[in-house]
Amino acid sequence: MSDDVRAGLEGVTVAETSLSRVDGEAGELVVGGYPVEELAGNATYEEVVFLLLEGRLPTADELDSFRADLAARREIGEEVRNVLRRAADEGLPAMDALRMGVAAANLGGETGDERETASRVIAVVPTVVATYWRYREGLAPVDPRPELGHAANYLFMLTGEQPTERAVRGLESYLVTVVDHGLNASTFTARTVVSTESDVVSGATAAVGALKGPLHGGAPGPVLDMLREIHERGDPGTYVRETLEGGERLMGFGHRVYRVRDPRAAVLSEAAEQFYAGSGQAEFFETVERFERVAVKALAEHKPDRPLETNVEFYTAPLLWGVGVPPELFTATFAVSRVGGWTAHCLEQLADNRIVRPVATYTGPTGRTWTPVEER
């Protein structure tokens, strides 16, 4: 392999963006100029999406208008429902159903304006996920309610019940925290697609396909399984020791970019703590915190030359489970948030576009000559 090759494009700068900045050494994430901690503690998802799309926070009137616009775009037609019903009947994973639903997002008379299409895609993803899930559970879909905010409406469509304020706040914190994260695999995929002057729907559909892979968006479910097992056993130390001695991975620790604790883990741990306080499940969350302390210490001793700190998935799992999101929908719920970042990146790419066209170093044979088939 040539010295010029950067496998996985690691460390290669391929774009400029004003949307988010990730500092892996310092453990910082800035979204639209604001530390993620400040946004997650104060903003609604709609405010942060407006920030990404427009480059600034909305006024009160603009926020009301933006919320109403998103709410008006949530409905999906019977054709899309039929596809989701078929996916559910065949037992396809949620991310497959979401890919199909997003691909059909521009059905229904969209104007072709990419900014409006971005709003449509952002608005429709929760409806697609919730509709698929209702079919999976043998239930009728729940129509979106325009008076509910983005987070509350998603929970309502999943359950058919008015969500608690505590659950809405917990989900809102999650949606804000993971809305954008630099040039990750799915975001880069979206930008690559639209760099050909394709459209936002195609970019978002491709991004869903990238997110489906377990190396990108598929770990929170196993984290929850691990945490629930540890809580039942009541012995985090033994679990950690047995896992590491067996050469297995502790889920929820280590990150491709961060060399310190993931700043999103810090935000979500606080959100989860607030949710579980007084929830009747406080003992479970105490187990989660105790396990983190034991695991971080053990990992530092086990692999002193490789920083393996808590990542975003560790607290995503207990928080989403607590607010009522089924584990089968954890990755799809990630997409409910990240679609705001994907579409903003698509629009940013189109505003100052150059087609993404890297090169590869050829390592195959040379000098071959043709041999007729009868002589091979």
Could you give the domains of the chain?
Answer: 31-215+328-351 (1.10.580.10), 220-323 (1.10.230.10)
DSSP 253: B
pLDDT for position 112: 76
pTM for this predicted structure: 0.94
Q: Which is it for the CA torsion 103, 105, 111, 117, positive or negative? A: negative
Collapse the DSSP code of 372 into the 3-class scheme (helix H, G, I; strand E, B; otherwise coil) and give the result. coil
Amino acid at 106: N
Q: Using the structure block, give the residue that is written with the tokens 């187990």.
A: 287
pLDDT for position 1: 45
Locate all alpha helices (DSSP H) within 137-219, ordered by sequence: 150-159, 165-177, 185-194, 200-212
Check: CB of residue 208 under 8 Å from CB of residue 99.
yes
pLDDT for position 3: 60
Q: Which listed residue (150, 181, 231, 255) is catalytic?
A: 255
Check: CB of residue 333 under 8 Å from CB of residue 325.
yes
pLDDT for position 278: 77
Cα separation, 315 vs 273, in Å, equals: 10
The verdict on whether 150 is a catalytic residue reads: no
Q: What is the mean pLDDT of each run of 10 residues along the chain (376 residues)?
A: 68 88 94 97 97 98 98 95 97 97 80 89 97 98 97 98 96 98 96 96 97 83 92 91 90 86 95 91 94 94 87 94 96 98 98 92 93 95
The verdict on whether 313 is a catalytic residue reads: yes
Q: Which listed residue (46, 309, 313, 348) is catalytic?
A: 313
pLDDT for position 296: 94
pLDDT for position 347: 98
